[in-house]
Structure 1
Amino acid sequence: MALRDNIQLYNPSAFTARFMPSPALQALLKGDFNKFLIVRVEEMYRHVTRPVPATRATIHTCLFLTEGQATMKIGSERYTIRRHEMLVVPAGQVFSFGEKDVNKGYICCFHNDMLVGKYGKSELLKEFEFLQVWGNPRLTPDNQTARFVLHLFKRLHQEYTDHGLQHLNILQPYLITLLCEVNRIYTPVATHAQTAAVTLANKFRALLFTNVCTMHRVSDYAAALHVSPNHLNKSVKAATEKSPTRWIDEAIVLEAKVLLSQSTLTVAGVALAVGLDDPSYFARLFRKHTGTTPTAFRKMIEKS
C-alpha cells in the first residue's frame, strides 16, 4: 500500500472548501487560485471555524504578519511568529494550525509554475532553501527588509484584488522579487555546522521525505547516499542536533498523524501504511512522540 495514496494533497480550492467553506472568502479568490492567491490574513482567518489537522497542500504558502501573532505546526516543529515575521510552508510539507490566533497581515500561496515563465526559471526553486521541506520555515527580516517585504505584499495584493491573474507579467516579477528579498536574510537551521555536514543532512531529509514509509533504517539511507552509517549519523547530528533515527521516527509519526486525520484506515492499517508490521510497536512509537495513543489522537481530531 503506497502511503501517499491514502493522504489527501489539497489544492487551495479543495482546502478552502473543506476548512473555510465561506462564500465571502470565495469572493476574494480570483481566477485559477490553485496557481496563485494572496489575501489579507484577517480576511481568511475569520472563516476558520475549527483547528486544521495535519495535512498537505499542492502549493507553497507564505504568511507575513503586520499585527498579532500566529502559531503553526510545520513538519514536526511548532513555530510562532509576530509582527514583521514570516512563515513558509513548502508544497507537500505537513502542517496544522488552530483557530484562536488574533493577527493581521498577508497570506500568499503559489504553485511552482509561478516561478517559471518570462521572468523566472525552474532553477529558482533551488535558490530558495525555505521552499524545501528541510529548510528553515521561519524568516525574521531586519527593519529595512521588513519594509520592502511589506511593500511587495501590498503591491501583489492590490494587483491580485484588482485584476486576478490577468497580468502575470506583473505578478511574477513581484513574487520573485519578494522571494529574493527574504532569501537575503534567510538563516539556515544549522549555521554552526560544516558545509559538508549540512549538505549531507539536507540530502538525507529530502530522501526521508519521499521514502519514509519504505525505508526505516539508518543504514538504508547511508547506502542510498553512498556514505557509512556512522558518517551519516555524525553529519546529521552536527547539522541538525538530532540523530537520523530521531528524524526517521518523527517522520513516521508525522505521516501517521496525517493518515489518522484524513483516512478511514484502522490503527493497524495506518501502521502498515507507514511501513510498520507490528501495531503494538507503532502505538508505542506514536505515544512516545505525541504523548497519546493513535486512537485517542483520532478521537481528538474528530471532536474538533
Structure 2
Amino acid sequence: MQGQSGNLFHINRIEDFRKYMQFPLLPHRKTVLDFIFLTQGTMRRNKGLNSYEFSAYTFFFLPAYQISTDTFMSEDIQGFYCHFDQDMLKTSLVQPDISKEFPFLQFNSHPLVQISAEAMEPVLNILNRLENEFKHKRTDKLDLVVLYLLTLFTELKRYVRPEETITENAALRISQLYKNALTQHIYAKQKVSDYADILNITPNHLNKCVKAATGQSAHDLLDEMLLLEAKVLLKQSDLNISEIAYKIGKEDQSSFGKFFKLKTGFTPKQYRVLD
C-alpha cells in the first residue's frame, strides 16, 4: 500500500512474517488500533500490565496508545494481523464514539473475543476480503474497507460476554481497576495515594487488595507502569534521558538510571540502542 491510506489500514498473514520475528518484542505503543486473529497456534501478548495467552478462534484487540509487549508466538502460528485508524469508522452508519457500539475497542476493555467454529467461515470471508483490498491496493477509497470492518465487528459483538472484568472477588476487581487507572493517568499521578483517591479507598486497602490478587504491592505495580512508559519513550521518542526521567517522576537522570538498571539490568542508554 502506498500513500496516506497505508497509515490508515494494513492487514497481513501472521505466518508470512513469523520466521523474521524474535521474541519477546520490546514494549511499544502504536497510534492505530490493531487486532490479531489466530486460526492456528498460540500467542502471548501483554496489554498494559496484563498478560494474555490465546489460541485459535480468538481475536486480540489493542486500542491505540496502549502499551503492548508480544512475549511469545508458537512456530506453527497462523492467522491475521490488522491495524487501522479508528477515525476511519466515523461514518453516518454508527454513533460517533465507535467504542460504545463495540466494547472490545475500548481502551481498558478485555482484549479477547473468542468465536465459535460456526463463525469461522463468515469471519474468514470478511478477513480474506480485507486482505484482497489491501493486496490490490484498492484502498485510496476506504469505504469498502470500513464496511467490511464494521461487518466483522458486528459479527463479533454477539460473542462478547457482558463484562469480562473480574467482579466476583473484590481484591481482583480493585486490582484490575488500579491497573486500568495506571495506564490512563501515569504521567499525571505517580503516587499510590493518588490512585487510592481515584478508586475511593484508602492506600492501605488498595495495597492489601493488590497484594492479595497479584502477590505484588501497589507500589510494585506503579513502578512496573513507570518502567513500561520509560521503555517506550526510550525507543519511540526523541526525548533525551533527562526529559524522560522528568516525565516518569524521577528527580534527575542519576536516580532514573539507577531505577532503570535495577529493573532491567541495562542503563537507559544501553536500552535505547537495543535492536
- TM-score range (shorter-chain normalised) is 0.7 to 0.9
* Alpha-carbon shift at residue 207 of structure 1 (Å): 4.7
Separation in 1, partners of 2:132, 2:164: 33
Equivalent pairs, count: 271
* Alpha-carbon shift at residue 101 of structure 1 (Å): 4.8
**2:269 matches 1:293:** no
State TM-score, norm by structure 1: 0.69
* Alpha-carbon shift at residue 98 of structure 1 (Å): 6.5
**2:188 matches 1:217:** no
Separation in 1, partners of 2:158, 2:260: 38
State TM-score, norm by structure 2: 0.75
Separation in 2, partners of 1:77, 1:287: 23
* Alpha-carbon shift at residue 54 of structure 1 (Å): 1.9
Asked if the contact 2:15–2:79 (Cα under 8 Å) also holds between the matched residues in 1, the reply is yes
Distance 1:301 1:184, change over 3 A: farther
**2:129 matches 1:158:** no
Aligned to 1:233: 206
Aligned to 2:64: 91
- CA RMSD after TM alignment: 4.0
Identity of aligned residues (%): 26
Asked if the contact 1:30–1:160 (Cα under 8 Å) also holds between the matched residues in 2, the reply is no
Asked if the contact 1:200–1:235 (Cα under 8 Å) also holds between the matched residues in 2, the reply is no
Distance 1:243 1:131, change over 3 A: farther
Moved more, 60-69 or 77-86: 77-86
Unaligned runs of 5+ in 2: none
Q: Aligned ranges for residues 1-304 of structure 1 at < 5 Å?
A: 32-45=5-18, 48=21, 52-97=25-70, 101-102=74-75, 103-162=77-136, 164-166=138-140, 168-187=142-161, 188-193=163-168, 202=177, 207-223=181-197, 225=198, 227-229=200-202, 233=206, 245-262=219-236, 269-277=243-251, 282=256, 286=260, 290=263, 292-295=264-267, 299=270, 302-304=273-275
* Alpha-carbon shift at residue 88 of structure 1 (Å): 1.8
Distance 1:176 1:194, change over 3 A: farther
* Alpha-carbon shift at residue 179 of structure 1 (Å): 1.9
Unaligned runs of 5+ in 1: 1-27
Distance 1:99 1:250, change over 3 A: closer
Separation in 1, partners of 2:234, 2:58: 32
* Alpha-carbon shift at residue 36 of structure 1 (Å): 1.6
Separation in 2, partners of 1:110, 1:257: 24
The residue type paired with residue 126 of structure 2 is L
* Alpha-carbon shift at residue 254 of structure 1 (Å): 0.9
